């Protein structure tokens, strides 16, 4: 009998869409994220529309991993005690309310967790870190934003190298301590949360990847976008393959609990 697929929860974005002055609320998930989970991690992406923070425990019991995606919206700076620097940029308070609590629950329960771009920033903020709201305005920092108005192939093309911590899993996945990545973000990490360790940095020192120290399962996040055609990039593929292995291990434990896991 075939084993059921691993299930990976991808929280939705909340966005108003429409024209002619008639915008309606939508719950959205980018195809590239779902496809990377399906193809790269060999798992089934799932959504729980309108999930709330008080449902996290019961919903985590149904899944084998969580992936926090990127988004056009930013984490609201009130979560790290700052006013909004640019009111024209999109925010998503409903997503914040769910994902910041979800991060803490995943770490506490040992649920495999992968954060990408906004998800990377969410993990840092959820665990007590802070963000630069506009990295490009920080002295000594590069402009990490994508070229506006260009087609996706241009926007997601490699933009700069990152230096990977020697001996880290990222260096193993990349096959070395330097690799080229894309760059499509305006916000970035300012102060890294206690309990996180930086595993990659851009040439300007901006943190590009970290791990959750002492995590019971896969718990990594990246500022770049490995989901973009991950199957065409060996480094990106290796990230999703490792995430997929962790999710399958949790699936096996979830569906075939031992006495130890039942009492954990």
Residue from 122, 146, 208, 227 carrying the catalytic annotation: 227
Torsion angle of the four alpha carbons 44, 45, 48, 54, in this order, in degrees rounded to the nearest 10: 90
Active site residue 225: yes
**Residue with tokens 């002055």, as numbered in its chain:** 21
Q: In the chain, how long is the greatest CA-to-CA distance?
A: 59
Q: Which residues is 196 bridged to in the sheet?
A: 212
Distance, in Å, from the CA atom of 48 to the CA atom of 63, rounded to the nearest integer, reads 11
Active site residue 76: no
Residue from 14, 144, 185, 225 carrying the catalytic annotation: 225
| Cα→Cα distances 110→101, 214, 223, Å | 14, 10, 22
Residue from 117, 122, 208, 247 carrying the catalytic annotation: 117
Measured between its terminal Cα atoms, the distance across the chain in Å is: 29
Burial of 120 from C-beta contacts in 10 A (0-12 / 13-18 / 19+): buried
Contact, 169 vs 219, CB < 8 A?
Answer: no
Active site residue 185: no
**Which residues are marked as active site?**
117, 225, 227
């Amino acid at each position: 009998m075939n084993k059921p697929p691993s299930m990976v929860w991808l929280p939705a974005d909340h966005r108003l869409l429409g024209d002619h002055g008639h915008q309606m609320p939508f719950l959205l998930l980018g195809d590239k994220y779902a496809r990377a989970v399906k193809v790269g991690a060999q798992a089934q992406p799932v959504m729980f529309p309108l999930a709330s923070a008080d449902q996290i425990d019961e919903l985590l019991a149904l899944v084998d991993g969580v992936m926090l995606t990127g988004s056009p919206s930013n984490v609201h700076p009130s979560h790290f005690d700052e006013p909004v620097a640019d009111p024209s940029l999109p925010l998503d308070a409903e997503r914040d309310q769910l994902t910041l609590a979800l991060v803490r629950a995943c770490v506490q329960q040992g649920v495999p967790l992968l954060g990408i771009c906004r998800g990377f920033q969410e993990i840092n903020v959820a665990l007590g870190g802070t963000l630069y709201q506009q990295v490009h305005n920080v002295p000594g920092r590069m402009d990490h934003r994508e070229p506006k108005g260009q087609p996706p192939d241009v926007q997601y093309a490699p933009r700069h190298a990152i230096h990977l911590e020697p001996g880290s899993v990222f260096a193993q996945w990349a096959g070395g301590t330097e690799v080229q990545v894309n760059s499509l973000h305006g916000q970035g990490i300012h102060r890294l949360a206690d309990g996180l360790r930086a595993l990659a940095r851009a040439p300007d020192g901006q943190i590009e990847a970290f791990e959750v120290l002492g995590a019971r399962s896969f718990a990594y996040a990246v500022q770049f976008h490995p989901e973009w055609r991950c199957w065409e990039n060996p480094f990106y593929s290796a990230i999703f393959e490792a995430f997929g292995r962790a999710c399958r291990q949790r699936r096996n434990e979830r569906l075939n609990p031992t006495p130890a896991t039942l009492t954990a």
